[in-house]
Amino acid sequence: MFEDDDYYYDYDYYYYDYDYYDDYYDDDYDDYDDYYDDDYYYYDYYDYYDYYYDYDYDYYYDYYYYYYYYYYYYYFFFYYYYYYDYYYYYYYYYFYYYYYYYYYYFYYYYYYYFYYYYYCYY
């Protein structure tokens, strides 16, 4: 149970971190001189994405392991199993929402990059 709480706090931390990045884009939005900085940041952002993907992937498999662990106790604690089964799906849905949320940010970044490219071309 404590691990789940930690995950919530981690998620909040990442969420605010994304807001920080969002502000970073806004600050450099019309700054032509920051072209090289932006290019550097672009690669940095992809490293960041890989890190988050790995983190979520590990978390999912950790939870998957626990799911099977509780499945082992299914015959003894039927209600207990059902409770954790639902809990697992809730976290899976939460994870999926988080992934979709990230995808939304990724799309936003892509749109921003296209706009920036257009701005430079213009």
Exposure class string for 44-70: b at 16+ Cβ within 10 A, else e: ebeeeeeebeeebeebeeebeeebeeb
User: What is the reported pLDDT for 38?
Assistant: 45
Determine the pLDDT at residue 34: 45
Structure confidence at residue 102 (pLDDT): 42
Q: Which residues contact 30 (CB under 8 A, 6 or more apart)?
A: 119
Q: What is the SS3 string spanning the chain?
A: CHHHHHHHHHHHHHHHHHHHHHHHHHHCCCCHHHHHHHHHHHHHHHHHHHHHHHHHHHHHHHHHHHHHHHHHCCCCCHHHHHHHHHHHHHHHHHHHHHHHHHHHHHHHHHHHHHHHHHHHHC
Residue 117 has what pLDDT? Answer: 52
Write down the pLDDT at residue 116: 52
- Amino acid, res. 20: Y
List the pLDDT tens digit at each of the 122 positions of the chain: 444 444 444 444 444 444 444 444 444 444 444 444 444 444 444 444 444 444 444 444 434 333 333 333 333 333 333 443 344 444 444 444 434 444 444 444 444 455 555 555 55
Residue 122: predicted pLDDT: 52
The Cα 41–Cα 87 span in angstroms is: 38
